Amino acid sequence: MLKKYVPKPGRREYVTFLLLVVEIILFGILAPNFLTVDNLIRVVQNNAEIAMVSIGMTIVMLLGGIDLSVGSVMGVIAIVIGYMLQAKVNIFIIVAVAILIGIGVGFINGFLVAKFNIPDMIVTIATMNIWKAVIFALLGGKWLTGLNPSWGAVTRARVLGIPVLLLLIIAVYALFYYFLMYRRFGRYIYATGCNPHSANLSGINVKKIRLVSYCISGGIAAFAAMLYIARMGSVEMTIGSDLPIACIAAVTIGGTGAKGNGKRGSVIGTLAGVLFIAFLKNGIVILGIPSLLENCFIGTLIVLSVLFDAVTANGRFKKSKEAA
Amino acid sequence: MKKIAFSIAKSRTKFLLLLFVIELIVLSLISPYFFSVNNLMQVTQFGASLTLLSLGEALVMIAGRDGIDISVGSAMSLSGVIFGLVVIKGGSILMATVITLLTGAVLGMINGLLVAVAKVPALIATLGTQYIYGSLALYLTGGIPISGFPDGFKVLSLESTLGIPNQILFVIVPVSILVFILVYKMKFGRRVYLMGTNPEAAKFTGIREKKIRSSVYILTGVLAAVSAIINNSWLMTARADAGNGMEMQAITVAVLGGIGVAGGIGHLGGVLIGVIIITMMNSGLQIANVNSVWQLATLGFILIIAIILNQLMSRYVASVEKNME
């Protein structure tokens, strides 16, 4: 029997993984405290939300879009969860409401993008600011503290010495990898990202795909909000303000190019990107480099990473040389 | 009635003027102090930096290929910080100005090289440089605002001539006129528009895309540097977070002013009216004591509504014109 044919997008993830390994070895040599189990686990725990949200961002960016509102969306949901926890609402209701809000909010983004054909960035910048104002209105300048959801114990637990949180992240990534690579819906996403016109002609409802991608992004943000509350136990005004950029950085370094490059990238690459940035931040702190320069390193990495993509993408560099 | 509606829908400028009048009426109903010539003149200085940033942003968007510059805000912060450092280290204001303008040009050129020569998507490239510039500005100041400018530096932004704030009269107006001449009276502007409307045609007319596109980004960087100097004089400090959030406002203003995100569409005149509308709104909301978070949210709403209106109007114009044929 013939093996089932599974088309694979361009393999760019290897580069990120290579970089990741080099980075870990480098920091391991330079900073003796880096390669301890405790440190590595702490890094993963501190970046759990970024890891989650980056999945949604990967899907949106595979379609050539971008979602800048994820951070504020996560903030709004975290606050709603916080209030519900204080009111001692049943935990299943809390989870359901959180995910519904996430999907609903994502639907608004997706609806504006797909239906009115407004550029993704403009829509999500606008909704980002609207949700920021909602965060402000909901919190009214105070903090929500002392939140201890019952799922917090689960995420902090360990099975055979491995944190459940880490297993959870790996499981979610595996799930989305499977769906994007081996299920029809995932193929549709790659096809639409590569060429929306031919995708449309081949019978894919491009608008629906776009809409759904934002719903997924919002739903995952709800998931991230739950992890955030479990980790921090409190919510304050600036929640999630750095999140979208961190996720875009991770996705880009992981090889999913923005703007219509469904040709390459996958959630596995994104995971490598998330870990790369997380270890970089950690290493910078351990090595004693001024943390004000942290963003400078990340920015440089983003630029280098897209430069690398631009140079290698389909010999585009060669072509533009000929034209000049 | 239908004729009037059509003419307003067809001309962005008329639509914006209408919006402006409505806004003035609403704001003067909220606060009786608002509608005085003196107040209106003073309000303009809030929009000084935004004007230049939006002009740059609009040009980048007009030049097409999904052009956008997210780094304008942090380019403004960084060049402002460098201005402050030069003055603190004993340089004269003139020297600091020259160095700052050069800094702006270099920051813009980095964006230009990435976008025009290396063909990196503008969004991601400028996102990266936004990180870099903002972080460098923070690092150079150590997070502490630089103050201690000579008293004479106040002349630029804290004093008025004939009731008009100096920075408007002596910087914003002349610089805007220069930009308008460059864009609407010279070859450069035509080329920028052509690149935005039809990149293929632009290529075959022999336009050197890399050169023109890079110069657009450089111009944007220089404009950011100029607004940094004005802002420094206005606050009499150089802050590393001076330009935070400015890119969002600049993009909003450009889109509200009728600049098409796909490139080649829109007029800088609309952008100027857009700046006035946004500035009036911000100061009106400030007078009404509304938190700045809500101002950003209002901006967000305006942005979405402006784009939906853009589309509805162009559809309406197209249908009316079809009927006329």
Q: How far apart are CA B222 and CA B69, in angstroms?
A: 13
The Cα A270–Cα A70 span in angstroms is 16
Q: Do B124 and A292 touch (CB under 8 A)?
A: no
CA A183: distance to chain centroid?
21
> Residue A24 in contact with residue A281, Cβ under 8 Å?
no
Spatial CA neighbour of B56 closest among B199, B222, B204: B222
Nearest chain B CA: its distance from A52 CA (Å): 21
DSSP string spanning B208-277? -HHHHHHHHHHHHHHHHHHHHHHHHHHHTEE-TTTTTTHHHHHHHHHHHTT--TTSS---HHHHHHHHHH
Q: Hey, what amino acid is at A67?
A: D
CB A240 within 8 A of CB A71: yes
Distance CA(A297)–CA(B134), nearest Å, equals 12
Inform me whether the C-beta atom of residue A296 falls under 8 Å from chain B C-beta atoms: yes
Rounded CA separation B112/B171 (Å): 25
Q: What is the ipTM of this complex?
A: 0.74
Burial of A36 (0-12, 13-18, 19+ CB in 10 A): exposed
Q: What DSSP assignment string belongs to B165-220? A: EHIIIIIIHHHHHHHHHHHHTSHHHHHHHHHHH-HHHHHHTT--HHHHHHHHHHHH
Contact A303 B132 (CB under 8 A): yes
How large is the angle between the packed helices B173-184 and B187-197, nearest 10 degrees? Answer: 70
- Band (pLDDT 50/70/90 cuts) for residue A3 is low
Residues on chain B touching A124 (C-beta within 8 angstroms)? none
State yes or no: pLDDT of B322 exceeds 80.
Answer: no
The answer to whether residues A280 and A257 touch, using CB atoms and an 8 Å cutoff, is: no
Counts for chain A of helices (H) and strands (E), in that order: 15, 2
pLDDT tens track for B19-48: 788 878 877 777 777 667 777 777 777 888
pLDDT for residue A321 is more than 60: no
In Å, what is the CA distance from B99 to each residue of B81, B112, B151?
11, 19, 20
What digits encode the pLDDT tens for the residues B145-186? 888 788 777 777 777 777 778 777 788 888 999 998 988 888
What pLDDT, on the 0 to 100 scale, is given for residue A320? Answer: 42
Give pLDDT, residue B215: 92
pLDDT per residue as tens digits for the range B128-145 = 898 899 888 888 888 788
Nearest partner of A103 among A224, A221, A248, A226, judged by Cα: A221
A70 C-beta neighbours (distance < 10 Å), count: 35
Q: Where is average pLDDT lowest: A90-99, B10-19, B202-211?
A: B10-19
| Residues of B at the A interface, defined by Cβ within 8 angstroms | 66, 68, 114, 118-121, 123-125, 127-136, 138-139, 142-143, 203, 210, 248, 251-252, 255, 261, 291, 293-294, 296-297, 299-301, 303-304, 307-308, 311
What pLDDT sits at residue B219?
93
For residue A115, the model assigns a pLDDT of 84
Residue A144 three-state SS: strand
3-state secondary structure of A159: strand
Measured CA to CA, the distance from residue B220 to residue B228 in angstroms comes to: 12
Query: What is the reported pLDDT for A316?
Result: 43
Q: Is the per-residue pLDDT at A173 higher than 80?
A: yes
Chain A residues inside the 8 Å CB shell of B74: none
For the segment A290-299, what is each residue's pLDDT rounded down to a tens digit? 777 878 888 8
For B206, left (φ over 0), alpha (ψ -120 to 50), or beta?
left
Positive or negative: CA dihedral A99, A103, A104, A108: positive
Query: Is the backbone of residue B260 left (phi > 0), alpha (psi -120 to 50) or beta?
Result: beta
pLDDT at residue B222 tops 90: yes
Average pLDDT, chain A: 82
Which among B125, B139, B203 is the nearest to A293, CB-wise? B139
- Residue B237 bridge partners (DSSP): B147
Angle (CA) A41-A44-A45 rounded to 5° is 85
Q: What percent of chain A has pLDDT over 90?
A: 17
Handedness of CA B191, B194, B200, B205 (dihedral sign): negative
Is the pLDDT reported for residue A116 higher than 90? no
Asked if the C-beta of A122 comes within 8 angstroms of chain B's C-beta atoms, the answer is yes
State the pLDDT at residue A258: 52
Ramachandran region, residue A10 (left: φ > 0; alpha: ψ -120 to 50; beta: rest): beta
Out of A127, A133, A299, whose CB is closest to B132?
A299
Kindly state the DSSP code that residue A88 receives in the 8-state scheme.
T
